[in-house]
Structure 1
Amino acid sequence: MSLEQLKAFLAKVKGDSNLQVKLKAAKSPDDVVGIAKEHGHEFTADKIEELSQEELEGVSGGGISHVGGDNMCTG
């Protein structure tokens, strides 16, 4: 459940438009964790908050644009 797992998942997302669509539909960090687990990556929702805004914006050209508290906005 590491930050490295989250970064590996985000790298996978960059090249997978189906995953990008799923993430854009995610309503919470826990939704993202569930999607990642379906694709073989395990980390906790708190790891998402450890990433910088720049790292998050790099996913699908800004697919995840803001994470804060219990809310995650997609762009």
Structure 2
Amino acid sequence: MPLEQLKAFLEKVKGDSNLQEKLKAAKSPEDVVAIAKENGHEFNSDHLSQLSKEELESVAGGVTLKYKNWCYCTAL
């Protein structure tokens, strides 16, 4: 179920420029989880790594997040 929550959140992000900006400012996977929770989606940072690159590109709408060695990137 949490993976479906993550996908639903990323679909919401695709159409919401305010959420995209918040995610771009995220400094860690935990920040992403907190932003998602604020928007009614429950998952943990481990779920971020469970999506394939293709899944991320198809739903995230060009969001790029970086934190040290961690990167969540999608094409614009």
TM-score, length of structure 1 as denominator length: 0.80
Structure 2: how far apart are the matches of 1:8 and 1:50? 14
CA distance in 2, matches of 1:39, 1:65: 18
Q: Provide, for residues 5-25 of structure 1, a one-character-per-residue CA deviation record: whole Å limited to 9, x for no partner.
A: 000000100010000000111
Show the counterpart of 1:18. Answer: 18
Runs of at least 4 residues of structure 1 off by over 4 A? none
CA contact (8 A) 1:24 1:74 kept: no
**Gapped runs of 5+ residues in structure 2?**
none
TM-score calculated relative to the size of structure 2: 0.79
Q: Shift of the alpha carbon at 1:36?
A: 0.1
What's the % identity of the aligned pairs? Answer: 62
Pick which of 13-22 and 49-58 moved more: 49-58
Deviates more, 1:48-57 or 1:5-14: 48-57
Between Structure 1 and Structure 2, how many residues are aligned?
73
Structure 1's unaligned 5+ residue stretches are none
Aligned match of 1:42: 42
Q: Select between 50-59 and 20-29 the one with higher mean Cα deviation.
A: 50-59
Which one-letter code corresponds to 2:53 in the other structure?
Answer: Q
In 1, Cα distance between equivalents of 2:22 and 2:49: 19
CA RMSD of aligned residues (A): 2.6
CA-CA distance at 1:53 after TM superposition = 1.3
